[in-house]
């Protein structure tokens, strides 16, 4: 079940059920997005292990997010030029190598470089989200995207408690090594299951980047929503970077397992995504 062009994919999708494929993509997005957040509850442990000062410990999370931002700007646009399945597989394999490098690191610089690369490669998620819209009929796209976003949110919210539980049972190194192995397995499954999608755009890479600048300058809705989400993402990242450090400090003295239970509260937010997708399909 493969397609060679962008225009052929929707017709093939409309003719066949793709519920299992949407579920697979949602699972893939959740597992990949989790890589951005494993380090957040472990920042104190990692910093102490690598000999980072308390002030420099924030770089563990910050560099991952910087890498993700760079990937959004410079790698995700390749989704309009490069066959999407191939792009996702390359990014997942590179992510696996970066995670393995982080897990094997015993000095600050190699770990921080790996953290940057983890963020850069995790943008495979943002290639998969628009990709899934080409697998389903137009009338079901809102629900499909809602399901994928629910998987993504579950991955984000479960990453912190999962990392804390594993670190409690073993060490923070094991968290990254296990995730590396998981990315390789995921890449193999997607290679076997995903249909190809070759974009039909004739623009060059530089033109695509320039088009993003034009959209940012001229599209008021995009400007407003970018501003909203910039503040949302900033507050989200600040809260989840600082809170585990505070909970592990002498003020509260929580163990990694107790911090994991605290982080589980956020999982409830993932329930909203499929509901919003269904509302979008109804024109709301």
Could you tell me the residue range of the domain that residue 145 belongs to? 8-277
191 in any annotated domain: yes
Assigned domain for 263 exists = yes
**Is residue 2 one of the residues assigned to a domain?**
no
CB 168, CB 256: distance < 8 Å: yes
In contact, 241 and 40? CB cutoff 8 Å? yes
248 in a domain, yes or no? yes
What is the C-alpha separation between 49 and 45, in angstroms, rounded?
6
Within a domain: 103:
yes
Q: How many domains does the chain have?
A: 1
How does DSSP classify residue 274? H
Question: In 170-204, which ranges are continuous DSSP H helix?
Answer: 172-193
170 located within any domain: yes
What is the tens place of the pLDDT at every residue in 23-81? 999 999 999 999 999 999 999 899 999 999 888 998 999 999 999 999 999 999 999 99
CATH number, domain at 85? Answer: 1.20.1250.20
Instruction: In whole angstroms, give the CA distance from residue 47 to residue 123.
Output: 25
Give me the residues of the chain with pLDDT under 70, please: 1-17, 266-274, 277
Does some domain include residue 3? no
In a domain, 1, yes or no: no
């Amino acid at each position: 079940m493969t397609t060679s062009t962008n225009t052929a994919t929707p017709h093939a999708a409309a003719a066949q059920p793709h519920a299992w494929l949407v579920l697979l993509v949602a699972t893939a997005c959740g597992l990949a997005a989790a890589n951005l957040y494993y380090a957040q509850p472990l920042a104190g442990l990692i910093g102490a292990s690598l000999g980072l000062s308390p002030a420099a410990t924030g770089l563990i999370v910050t560099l991952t997010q910087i890498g993700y931002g760079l990937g959004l700007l410079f790698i995700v646009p390749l989704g309009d030029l490069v066959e999407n399945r191939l792009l996702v597989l390359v990014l997942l394999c590179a992510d696996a190598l970066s995670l393995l490098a982080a897990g094997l690191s015993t000095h600050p610089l190699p770990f921080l470089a790996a953290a940057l690369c983890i963020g850069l490669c995790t943008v495979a998620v943002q290639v998969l989200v628009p990709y899934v819209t080409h697998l389903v009929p137009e009338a079901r796209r809102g629900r499909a995207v809602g399901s994928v976003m629910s998987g993504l949110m579950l991955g984000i919210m479960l990453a912190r408690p999962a990392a804390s539980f594993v670190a409690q049972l073993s060490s923070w190194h094991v968290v990254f090594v296990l995730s590396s192995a998981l990315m390789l397995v995921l890449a193999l499954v997607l290679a076997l299951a995903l249909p190809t999608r070759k974009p039909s755009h004739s623009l060059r890479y530089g033109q695509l980047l320039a088009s993003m600048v034009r959209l940012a300058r001229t599209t008021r809705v995009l400007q407003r929503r970018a501003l909203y989400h910039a503040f949302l993402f900033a507050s989200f990242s600040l809260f989840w970077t600082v809170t585990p450090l505070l909970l592990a400090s002498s003020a509260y003295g929580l163990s990694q397992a107790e911090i994991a239970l605290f982080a589980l509260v956020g999982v409830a937010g993932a329930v909203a995504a499929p509901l919003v997708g269904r509302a979008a399909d109804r024109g709301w």
